């Protein structure tokens, strides 16, 4: 077996030749640059033509280097998995312990790759980190990429601005801060003052991204297919396809501006939501100019408390806003990481949520939206039969039994109350059940999910992370989803039947479900409030008891005070 593995991963005979080609390409790139410089000193016209050729050669070489790094990293990970896990029993504790070690090593290699290649690799790493269905070692390691973007030099950014806006910056702005206030993997944001003294935030796309995207996506697809060829049970084509769809939408700033305005319209009656206004005169495919809004990052608990804002109330408001997007509007912000949501210390509730970065949105299919509302109704009531039926509609079949675990932290046979987690017995049973699952099951499950579902899983993963940092109990998220799933169904009662009797019967059944679920939720919420009140009374009682004991020990303390 060992001999076979060594021969399988043995470098081909022409590997040295390929390495020589790569070194030669480096020399050619350098020589070409020097040759152009020499020739341009005697013939300026030659320089204009050749500079374009040199840029294309350098860009192509840059793409080769980036792709080579990616191929080397993934190959290293494949070899690590292949060798480290060989000969181990799949269901043994030793296998799972070793698997966790390999996951962590592989995740660290991917992190280094993303940090070195930057651009779309950082974006891909962030995408993976937000998928809570991947091993924890990957999501926790790659999560650090959220704050790793390095801004471009202003000279390159200025060229994009002038080319897109058609005028020099001094003709358009009273002031323009060359130092970015935020930097991401595909763009950075600058603060400026218009001639009419309006403060604006200007999002500028980095140059050459479309060409770079084609090379990087092609490399990722190749690596995904190569991994699936070596390990048939490890299939990630679904992830590459979903990433390509989301990143393609994000590169169009005109579409982002339209998404922003549509979201503002959807929440026009909601006083807690703020969406920066778009300045269309200074907006193009690569430049987005919008109203400048200040605030604290949504997960900055220290700053929120200093401003007198309750983090749990922020978590509740955040979950309700995104629950309304999913269940009622069917138009979902697909990238709610902390940098894209600010908390401003103003508004009726003492704060408002500022929603930024509207590049990645998903318009849910109406049939899917209604089914997803029903699924949450079934999850709350633990209606296993209904969950199974909806699982068939979503195309996941037998894997629908894991929906309660994924979304509510309960097994499908759980007797625990909503938001109370699993009992020790349930945890033990689930652990035994999960041990029987293989990577093939995970791949099959993720491949079968519709694109709408993948977006929701990613969004939900990011929101769970934020609410956890805010210290909010899981019940805040569950109640928000439950409440808005009811609103989502009641807002549009669309019976599938044609006859008047069946139509009336369908409406009656929906109304009964709505009333039953609403009563259930209100009882759960009342219980939660009673528990909070009970804790408050207990806390006050302890304080009074402590004061009484202190007085008995030192009766003169009150007189002195």
d(CA 373, CA 393): 13
Supply 12's token pair. 């081909």
Please list the residues that pair with 173 across neighbouring strands: 194
**Angstrom distance (rounded) from CA 485 to CA 326:** 9
Give the Å distances, CA to CA, from 16 to 13, 24, 62: 7, 12, 20
What is the token pair recorded at 25?
A: 């390409």
Contact 11, 72 (CB under 8 A): no
d(C-alpha 43, C-alpha 495), whole Å: 76
| Closest C-alpha among 264, 276, 364, 281 to residue 321 | 264
Ordered DSSP codes for 107-161 = HHHHHHHHHHH-THHHHHHHHHHH-TTS-HHHHHHHGGGGG-PPPPPHHHHHHHH
What string of DSSP letters covers 213-229?
A: HHHHHHHHHHHHHHHHH
- Residues 361, 336 contacting (CB under 8 angstroms): no
Q: Judge contact between 258 and 288, C-beta under 8 A.
A: no
Say how many Å lie between the first and final Cα of the chain, rounded. 83
CA distance 426 to 429: 5
2: left (phi over 0), alpha (psi -120 to 50) or beta: alpha
CA distance 416 to 414: 6
> Rounded to whole angstroms, what are the CA distances from 142 to 65, 190, 377?
22, 26, 33
335 is catalytic: yes
- How many helices (H) and strands (E) are present in the chain, helices listed first? 22, 11
Instruction: Give the CA radius of gyration of the chain.
Output: 28
Contact 331, 263 (CB under 8 A): yes
Q: Which of 216, 299, 335, 371 is catalytic?
A: 335
d(CA 192, CA 200): 5
Quickly tell me which residue has 């790759």 as its tokens.
Answer: 113
Strand 199-205 with 187-194, pairing = antiparallel
Residue 547: count other Cβ atoms within 10 Å of its Cβ. 12
Please give the positions annotated as active site: 335
């Amino acid at each position: 077996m060992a001999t076979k593995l060594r021969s399988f991963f043995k470098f081909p005979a022409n590997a040295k030749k390929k390495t020589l080609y790569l070194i030669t390409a480096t020399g050619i790139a350098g020589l070409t640059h020097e040759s152009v410089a020499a020739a341009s000193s005697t013939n300026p016209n030659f320089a204009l033509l050749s500079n374009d050729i040199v840029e294309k050669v350098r860009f192509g070489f840059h793409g080769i280097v980036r792709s080579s790094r990616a191929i080397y990293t993934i190959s290293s990970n494949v070899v690590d998995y292949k060798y480290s896990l060989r000969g181990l029993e799949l269901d043994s504790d030793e296998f799972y312990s070793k698997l966790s070690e390999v996951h962590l090593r592989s995740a660290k290699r991917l992190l280094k790759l993303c940090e070195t290649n930057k651009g779309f690799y950082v974006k891909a790493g962030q995408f993976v980190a937000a998928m809570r269905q991947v091993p924890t070692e990957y999501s926790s390691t790659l999560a650090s990429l959220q704050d790793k973007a390095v801004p471009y030099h202003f000279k390159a950014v200025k060229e994009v601005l002038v080319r897109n806006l058609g005028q020099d910056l001094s003709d358009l702005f009273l002031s323009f801060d060359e130092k970015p206030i935020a930097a991401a993997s595909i763009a950075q944001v600058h603060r400026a003052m218009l001639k009419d003294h309006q403060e604006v935030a200007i999002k500028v796309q980095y140059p050459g991204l479309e060409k770079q995207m084609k090379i990087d996506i092609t490399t990722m697809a190749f690596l995904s297919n190569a991994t699936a060829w070596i390990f048939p049970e490890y299939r990630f084509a679904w992830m590459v396809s979903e990433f390509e769809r989301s990143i393609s939408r994000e590169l169009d700033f005109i579409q982002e501006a339209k998404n922003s305005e549509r979201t503002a319209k959807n929440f026009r009656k909601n006083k807690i939501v703020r969406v920066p206004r778009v300045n269309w005169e200074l907006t193009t495919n690569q430049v987005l100019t919008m109203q400048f809004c200040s605030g604290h990052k949504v997960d900055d608990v220290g700053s929120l408390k200093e401003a007198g804002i309750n983090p749990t109330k922020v978590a509740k408001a955040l979950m309700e806003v995104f629950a309304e997007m999913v269940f009622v509007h069917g138009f979902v912000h697909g990238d709610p990481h902390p940098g894209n949501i600010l908390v401003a210390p103003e508004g009726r509730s003492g704060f408002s949520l500022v929603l930024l970065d509207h590049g990645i949105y998903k318009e849910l299919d109406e049939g899917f939206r209604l089914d997803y509302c029903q699924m949450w109704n079934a999850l709350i009531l633990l209606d296993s039969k209904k969950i199974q039926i909806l699982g068939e509609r979503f195309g996941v079949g037998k894997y629908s039994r894991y929906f309660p675990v994924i979304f509510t932290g309960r097994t499908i046979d759980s007797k625990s109350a909503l938001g109370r987690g699993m009992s020790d017995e349930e945890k033990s049973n689930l652990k035994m059940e999960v041990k029987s699952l293989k990577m093939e099951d995970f791949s099959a499950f993720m491949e079968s999910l519709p694109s709408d579902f993948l977006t929701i899983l990613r969004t939900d993963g990011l929101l769970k992370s934020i609410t956890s940092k805010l210290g909010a109990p899981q019940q805040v998220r569950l109640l928000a989803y439950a409440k808005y799933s009811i609103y989502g169904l009641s807002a549009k009662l669309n019976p599938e039947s044609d006859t008047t009797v069946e139509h009336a019967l369908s409406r009656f059944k929906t109304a009964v479900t709505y009333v039953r679920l609403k009563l259930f939720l209100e009882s759960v919420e009342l219980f939660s409030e009673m528990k909070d009140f009970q804790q408050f009374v207990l806390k006050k009682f302890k304080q009074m008891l402590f004061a009484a004991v202190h007085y008995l020990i030192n009766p003169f303390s009150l007189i002195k005070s």
